[in-house]
Amino acid sequence: MGLKLIIFDWDGTLIDSADRIISCMQKASVDVALPVPSPDAVRNIIGLGLPEVFEQLFGRLSVAQQEQMRERYGYYYIEQDDTPTEFFPGVRDGLERLRRCGYRLAVATGKSRMGLDRVFAETGLGLAFEHSRCADETRSKPHPLMLEQLLEESGCRVDEAVMVGDTEYDLAMAVTAGMVSIGVSYGAHQPQRLLKHSPQCIIDHFSELEQWLEACS
């Protein structure tokens, strides 16, 4: 296939942050006097940008409510919540092996730029990724603009890239962009939802991505 660029989602694909996202969204909704969403409801929206998240969880909010939710969610996620977030097994070493094999790595995430830069710094992985796009600087998933911009910035053709993600928003984005995709079974959405968007495969462990790439080379 001549793949050169591997584009990863972040939350739920590289790092296990679902419990923290759920906890912070629930605490923020209490502070803003909104109905507290269930864990499943929050898990369903992981990967979207915050405006889309708020609309799906709470319906139409006023501008003031949106700003309050954004501020309280950020406050809990960055400063107050200590729910652990760890890389999924095999991710850190696997990313380094992919770089040594000559693959170029990128991130397409529902996080804000501030949020992604912060976790890049905290994890020390910022230098591993040549390119990244965040939901507050482009269109939110599943719109394909995020992928189109990464292709333009990297100089890669769509047939030289693959999208790896754990939600149907990731895979639907890839379908619309004309890009092949790989789903991961260990993230926010169940494999049955991912299969609707025709991924090349669904992996149960990060090392299986390396195996798939070897088979394609």
CATH number (domain holding residue 68)? 1.10.150
Could you tell me if 106 and 201 lie in one domain? yes
Could you tell me if 22 and 12 lie in one domain? no
Could you tell me if 93 and 39 lie in one domain? no
Dist CA 175 CA 158 (whole Å): 11
Question: What pTM did the predictor assign?
Answer: 0.90
Q: Is pLDDT above 90 for 123?
A: no
- Cβ atoms of 170 and 12 within 8 Å: the answer is no
Could you tell me if 125 and 38 lie in one domain? no
Could you tell me if 69 and 96 lie in one domain? no
Could you tell me if 138 and 212 lie in one domain? yes
pLDDT at 80: 66
Counting Cβ atoms within 10 Å, is residue 114 exposed (0-12), middle (13-18) or buried (19+)? exposed
pLDDT at 83: 64
Could you tell me if 167 and 104 lie in one domain? yes
Catalytic residue list contains 159: no
pLDDT at 148: 98
Q: Mean of the per-residue pLDDT values for the chain?
A: 93
Could you tell me if 147 and 58 lie in one domain? no
Residue ranges making up the domain that contains 75: 18-80
Tokens of 201: 């495969």
Boundary-marking domain end, from 51, 80, 109 = 80
pLDDT interval class at 49 (50, 70, 90): confident
Boundary-marking domain end, from 42, 65, 80 = 80
Domain count, the chain: 2
> Three-state DSSP class for 81?
coil
Boundary-marking domain end, from 80, 100, 124 = 80
Could you tell me if 76 and 114 lie in one domain? no
Q: Is pLDDT above 80 for 120?
A: yes
Catalytic residue list contains 11: yes
Dist CA 166 CA 125 (whole Å): 20
